[in-house]
Structure 1
Amino acid sequence: MSLRLSTVILPYRRWHEGGRSAWTRAEELGFHTAYTYDHLSWRSFRDGPWFGAIPTLTAAAAATERLRLGTLVTSPNFRHPVTLAKELISLDDISGGRITLGIGAGGTGFDATTLLKNGQDPWTPRERADRLAEFVPLLDRLLTEDSVSHAGEFYSAYEARNIPGCVQRPRLPFAIAATGPRGLRLAARHGQAWVTTGDPKLFENGTPEQSVQALRGQTEKLTEACDQLGRDVNGLGKILLTGFTPDRGRPLESLDAFVDFAGRHQELGFTEIVIHWPIPDSDFAADEKVFEQIAMEAVAQLG
């Protein structure tokens, strides 16, 4: 499978003050998919503007024609599978079948605490993994069956109706973010793609070479998970969301730097590289001219 290049557009700008133009420009530049974060707020953007993922993607669907759109990633931290399914079916319909759902267990940021009662502890990593393990199969059913009833440990549904279902059949694709064994098995069973940001333990003090080795280990474990289910791992997309490996922003410093970075990860089996749309004075600052050159020329050089 040839390498695809996609982007993440963070929802921090008002739609009519630069928000819309980023999505239309992403289509013009030829990106395969434009994703957005599905958070209530995020890290350094905590005290600034931040808009909802689903409404933003709905507007982007109306403003574009060919560009695939998606979340990277949605989590159970503040989502319920029944209401999310209804929104996704509507979004898939409005976009004409151009939606990918990136989904993962979520982290310990603002999403994990905003809905808590005062003094209540956030979910532990195990609790988040437990919820995702119930969330994904239930969402799978909600997007493929006309009526679903479910009484689980965390989620319930009683005759939840989702007619007419997704434009994409049997449902829109899932890109499941995972690094641990349970998550990788979930990706192998329910995913059309797998997402990783690398090994977070290496971000501060690791080297790019160590990161490549860690990613190789993750892809090997994904292969093992697929083998256990009798699934060909080559049928599963492998997505690397950049910006969280020891390389940080260096791959966006020049076209040659990005081609070298992407080529090394393509050799590991990655089928899609995702780069952040430049945001001045942030962790995702980058030269916009270089960014656009990468968008227009990198894939052709990688072959």
Structure 2
Amino acid sequence: MSLRLSTVILPVRPWHEGGRDQWSRAEELGFHTAYTYDHLTWRTFRDGPWYGAVPTLTAAACATERIRLGTLVTSPNFRHPVTLAKDLMSLDDISGGRVTLGIGAGGNGFDATALGQEPWTPGERADRFAEFVPLLDRLLTEDAVTEDGTFYSAVEARNIPGCVQRPRLPFAVAATGPRGMKVVARHGQAWVTAGDPKVFEGTPEQSLEALRGQLGKLEKACAEIARDSGSMEKVLLTGFTPERNTLLESVDAFVDFAGRHQELGFTELVVHAPIPNSDFAADQAVFERIATEALAQLKG
């Protein structure tokens, strides 16, 4: 598979104060997909503006024509499959079939307690995720669904006429553990990783080795159900590996990074749109040159 370059636009700008322009510009620059985070708030941005993912993507769908749109990632922390399916079906319709759902098990951030619940243990998150995704899959592919689950249920839940994309919009499933990889193998059209947090402060070589191990787990999970992992997109959300501080310093630095990860087997790299005075601060001009020049250099 050829390498694709996408971006993630954090929902921190008011729509009429630069928010809309970011999505339009992402399309102009030729990014394959523009994603946004699906959180109620996130890390150092907690005390500042942060907008909802689904309304933002709906507006982005109306402001663009070609670029794909998606979440990176949605989780069960504050979502229910029945209501999420309805939102996704509607968003897929409004966008003309340009939506990808990035989905993961979630973590212990602010989303985990915003509804008044106690944070789930890793095991509880895995249990819920293993039930959430199959039910969501059914809701997006069947006209009416009834399911009596341990965590999530549906009673005559209807999603008519279904997605524009058939049989449903694609799932990009984020996972690194064995149980999550089983969900990827059964329901994912793509697999997502941000790398291994254990080597966040390590070396690029250690990061590559960790990613190679994750790819091996994915291949094993697919083989267990006789699925060819080679046909699945492999997505790396950048910004969380040892190269994070130099990745967007120059086109050459990015091309070097991209080439090494393409050789490893990744088919899509996602870079954060620059946000001044944050962990994602970067030169906008260099970011735009990377968008327009990096893949051409790799092909050359």
* SS of equivalent residue, structure 1 residue 252: coil
Q: Which moved more, 1:221-230 or 1:58-67?
A: 221-230
State the match for 1:57 in structure 2.
Answer: 57
After TM superposition, the structure 1 = structure 2 runs for residues 141-220 of structure 1, keeping only pairs within 5 Å, are 141-203=138-200, 205-220=201-216
Q: Distance in 2 between matches of 1:29 and 1:68?
A: 13
Aligned residues: 299
Q: Distance in 1 between matches of 2:256 and 2:275?
A: 23
State the match for 1:104 in structure 2.
Answer: 104
State the match for 1:93 in structure 2.
Answer: 93
Q: Distance in 2 between matches of 1:274 and 1:168?
A: 22
Post-superposition CA distance 1:107-145 (Å, at most 9, x none): 11000011125xxx3101111111010000000000000
Deviation of the 1:249 alpha carbon: 2.8
Aligned with residue 248 of structure 1, among 241, 244, 250? 244
- Residue 43 (str. 1) matches residue 39 (str. 2): no
Deviation of the 1:187 alpha carbon: 0.4
- Any conservation in 2 of the 1:75–1:104 contact (CA below 8 Å)? yes
Aligned-residue CA RMSD in angstroms? Answer: 0.6
Aligned with residue 268 of structure 2, among 264, 269, 272? 272
- Any conservation in 2 of the 1:5–1:274 contact (CA below 8 Å)? yes
* SS of equivalent residue, structure 2 residue 71: strand
Write the letter of the residue equivalent to 2:279: D
Write the letter of the residue equivalent to 2:189: Q
Identity of aligned residues (%): 78
- Any conservation in 2 of the 1:72–1:103 contact (CA below 8 Å)? yes
Write the letter of the residue equivalent to 2:199: L
- Any conservation in 2 of the 1:249–1:284 contact (CA below 8 Å)? no
State the match for 2:225 in structure 1.
Answer: 229
After TM superposition, the structure 1 = structure 2 runs for residues 5-84 of structure 1, keeping only pairs within 5 Å, are 5-84=5-84
TM-score using structure 2 length: 0.99
Deviation of the 1:191 alpha carbon: 0.1
Unaligned runs of 5+ in 2: none
TM-score using structure 1 length: 0.98
